[in-house]
């Protein structure tokens, strides 16, 4: 059982799914660069680089585009493989590909690494954030990097699309933090987006969610090596970073799946009784896997991602109602029934807001044992619904 748990969590941390070999051609990562990018907060970043990848062919009219916006710990690798011997395909490979739910024989599917991506040291991720070199100083930005928001993520994606001559989205689809970006697309650029699929997300960060997310930040900020974000010339705050990564993983799961996969962990383990320094086996597993993940992650980047989620309000304006009034897209909302992170009431509030504004909206619950991650692992239960929604 320990081996099974390790495999499961390793898959979760690498944002992959269990699927048969992908039918997509091998995926090539691309890099987009822009200069003098002005953030939602009014700051200017001299140069922004992000990675992106695409599946399928862009038609002559350039109107067959589906944008996939990724979740907090993910990146633009939504489907396919980079090499034949890759152990896992992209996280939604089960539904993206030739003849699949999001059919790449019909659609040009594209995904973009966000600004301040969690893993700036991952060789398959390109992102700009606190770990990037500030051209004005020749050193990493650290906390001099401006606070960024979901609107900034969207605006960078829009620049990528425009560089390809794209001016319309057949649909935008995202899970978790990706759903926030997807919704922001429909509010910020309503004439661009025809359909929205909003999975395990929210329309506004409420006080409970803001406070809950702040718990992820605390281990990093309390690590002495964090040094107020100025650690790039010294020791990184690895202890805090690893603790945070473990919290993110566990917080995304429901007790049902943890207890199923690790039934051997019990209060009767002998080591914790023998010495207060000894941990239960599940705790050691999470620590080890968080340490593995930390090789690619950056503590400041995670803090910036947390803040972007905490700041989210659809439309980034004065009220949720004003933001949702701008939505023109047909909307499908898929909350996870057992989600303990972005709980179903947050999606239900979005549904009620759109319904009250007389928008075309449907909500369907995702069932399963994974909790928040049913939005990744359980998405196929609505494969036919999504396929029909994309045809409407």
Q: In 49-148, which residue ranges form alpha helices assigned H by DSSP?
A: none
Q: How far is 154 from 152, CA to CA, in rounded Å?
A: 5
Verify whether residue 252 is a known catalytic residue: no
Query: How far from 76 is each of 91, 155, 366, CA to CA, in Å?
Result: 9, 16, 23
Classify residue 351 as left (phi > 0), alpha (psi -120 to 50) or beta. Answer: alpha
- DSSP-assigned states of every residue in 228-254: GG--TTS---HHHHHHHHHHHHHHTS-
Q: Residues 14, 339, 347, 374: which is the catalytic one? A: 339
Catalytic-role residue among 176, 179, 252, 347: 176
372 a catalytic residue:
yes
Other CB atoms within a 10 A radius of the CB of residue 260 amount to 14
User: Who contacts 210 (Cβ-Cβ below 8 Å, separation ≥6)?
Assistant: 310
- State the catalytic residue, choosing from 22, 70, 372, 374: 372
Q: Are 111 and 64 in contact (CB under 8 A)?
A: no
Whether 198 sits among the annotated catalytic residues: the reply is no
Beta strands in the chain (DSSP E): 30-38, 44-55, 65-69, 96-97, 102-103, 108-112, 133-134, 139-140, 171-175, 195-199, 330-334, 361-363
Positions marked catalytic? 176, 339, 372
């Amino acid at each position: 059982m320990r081996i099974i748990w390790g495999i499961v969590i390793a898959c979760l941390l690498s944002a992959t799914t269990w699927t048969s070999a992908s039918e997509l051609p091998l995926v090539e990562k691309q890099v987009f660069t822009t200069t003098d990018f002005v953030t939602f907060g009014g700051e200017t970043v001299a140069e922004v680089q992000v990675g992106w990848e695409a599946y399928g062919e862009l038609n002559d009219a350039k109107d067959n585009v589906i944008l996939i916006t990724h979740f907090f710990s993910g990146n633009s690798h939504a489907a396919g493989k980079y090499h034949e011997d890759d152990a896992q395909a992209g996280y939604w490979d089960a539904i993206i590909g030739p003849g699949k739910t999001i059919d790449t024989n019909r659609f040009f599917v594209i995904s973009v690494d966000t600004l301040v991506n969690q893993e700036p040291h991952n060789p398959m991720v390109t992102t700009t954030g606190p770990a990037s070199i500030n051209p004005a100083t020749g050193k990493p930005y650290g906390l001099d990097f401006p606070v960024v928001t979901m609107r900034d993520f969207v605006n960078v994606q829009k620049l990528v699309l425009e560089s390809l001559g794209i001016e319309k989205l057949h649909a935008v689809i995202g899970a978790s933090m990706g759903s926030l970006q997807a919704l922001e697309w429909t509010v910020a650029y309503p004439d661009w987006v025809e359909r929205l699929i909003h999975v395990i997300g929210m329309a506004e960060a409420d006080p409970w969610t803001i406070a809950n997310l702040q718990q992820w930040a605390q281990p990093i900020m309390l690590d002495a090596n964090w040094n107020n974000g100025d650690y790039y010339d010294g020791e990184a705050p690895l202890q805090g970073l690893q603790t945070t990564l473990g919290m993110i993983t566990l917080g995304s799961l429901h007790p049902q799946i943890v207890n199923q996969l690790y039934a051997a962990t019990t209060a009767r383990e002998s080591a914790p009784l023998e010495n207060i320094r000894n941990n239960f086996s599940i705790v050691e597993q999470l620590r080890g896997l968080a340490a593995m993940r930390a090789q690619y992650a950056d503590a400041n980047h995670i803090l910036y991602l947390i803040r972007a989620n905490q700041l989210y309000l659809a439309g980034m304006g004065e009220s949720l109602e004003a933001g949702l009034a701008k939505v023109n897209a047909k909307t499908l909302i898929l909350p996870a029934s057992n989600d303990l992170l972005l709980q179903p009431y947050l999606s239900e509030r979005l549904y009620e807001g759109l319904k009250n504004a007389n928008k075309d909206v449907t909500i369907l619950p995702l069932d399963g044992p994974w909790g928040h991650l049913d939005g990744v692992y359980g998405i196929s239960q609505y494969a036919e619904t999504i396929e029909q929604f994309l045809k409407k």
